[in-house]
Amino acid sequence: MKLLNNLIIKIIPFLPKFLVKIVASPYIAGITDKEMLKEVKNLNDKGYKVAIDILGEHVKTEREAEEVTKRYISIYKEISKRNLSSNVSLKLTHIGLDLGLDQVKKNLSLLVQAAKKNNNFLRLDMENIPYTSKTIRLYKEMFEEYEQIGIVIQAYLLRSYNDIKKLSNEKFNVRICKGIYAEDQELVFNNYNDIQKNFIRLVKEALNRGAYVGIATHDEFIIDNIYSWITKNNVSKNQYEFQVLHGVPMGKKLKMLMNEGNTVRIYLPYGDNWYDYSVRRLRENPKMAGYIIRNIFLSIFRIK
């Protein structure tokens, strides 16, 4: 099955775009803001909170960075206007980090102001290693302007435990995820079990230091292990939430968590860059191949 999964992942980039769109549609909340906002409302009605992400990264011009910034500002306004339970999660290279610190700081400051004006939260996604220290630096600077801002720490990085120890306190808000980027092998855990162990270690360390933690994983072993520890240690449900990617079939587990009073947030990517994102996600996660096979056959059946 593993060989078949990997074969399908290699084939995905060569499939027609329309077919990739059908296959990836469960994981993408549409192309337009209107489509995305409709899905946010749908998820809220089911009891989920949401983190909105406009797909894209590494913009090439100041104009592109400013357009993305304005779009996020508009989203904050719509969230307030529609009384939605959602915040924003963005990549700093999408608002100009590659163009220099002055450019990204200008746009990021505008977004922090928008979050503050709308009494909302802003999450800075973590990208690959060349951006890790810069992202943490910008987080610290923006935190001085507004405390409702958070960051992401990736469990596969060897440096992450020290980052958690340095950053964690009662005002620290962190999403902990495994990490998806191809990195220098000397800087990461290369064994899957080691990544699982480090993920659990990071969550426990952050919670023990009083941080608010977004436990972002589809790995039920990690979820069960952490939830058992949280229950045993009487960790307040106001100190953590579970986060999953839109479209990944975990309905029973998520409903169980919510039925026990836990917050579950759906990470909701959308936008014009759906194709590159879809191909990358499918290639980076061969376990999705089983879902892909099913969706391909369903889509072919519908087309006929």
How do residues 212-254 score in pLDDT, each as one tens digit?
999 999 999 999 999 999 999 999 999 999 999 998 888 799 9
Q: What percent of the chain has pLDDT over 70?
A: 81
Q: 188 with 205, same domain?
A: yes
Mark 233-269 as b/e (b = at least 16 C-beta within 10 Å): eebeeeebbbbbbbbbebeebbeebeeeebbbbbbbb
Segment among 45-49, 100-104, 285-289 with least mean pLDDT: 285-289
Backbone angles phi, psi at 150, to 5 degrees: -135, 180
Residues annotated as catalytic are 125, 175
74-133: per-residue pLDDT in tens?
Answer: 999 999 999 999 999 999 999 999 999 999 999 999 999 999 999 999 999 999 999 999
Considering the domain architecture, whether residues 120 and 50 belong to the same structural domain is answered as yes
Residue at 279 is within a domain: no
| 299 and 240 co-located in one domain | no
Model pLDDT, residue 304:
42
The amino acid at 28: I
Q: Is residue 109 part of a domain?
A: yes
* Cα 279 to Cα 293: distance, rounded to the nearest angstrom: 15
Q: Are residues 78 and 1 in the same domain?
A: no
Residue 277 located in a structural domain: no
* Burial class (CB within 10 angstroms; exposed 0-12, middle 13-18, buried 19+) of 81: exposed
| Tokens matching residue 56 | 């894209």
132 and 9 in one domain?
no
Query: Based on the domain organization, do 170 and 66 belong to the same domain?
Result: yes
Same domain, 24 and 98: no
Tokens of 142: 């923006």
Residue 160 tokens, joined? 């992450």
By C-alpha distance, which of 74, 139, 142, 128 is closest to 98? Answer: 128
* Cα within 13 Å of Cα(47), Cβ side: 13
Which residues form the domain of 47? Answer: 32-270
**CATH code, domain with 236:** 3.20.20.220
CB atoms within 10 A of CB 88: 23
Instruction: Measure the CA–CA gap between 217 and 177, rounded to whole angstroms.
Output: 6
Predicted local distance difference test score (pLDDT) of residue 303: 42
Same domain, 151 and 223: yes
Count of domains for the chain? 2
Reference 267, options 203, 200, 177, 196; nearest CA is: 177
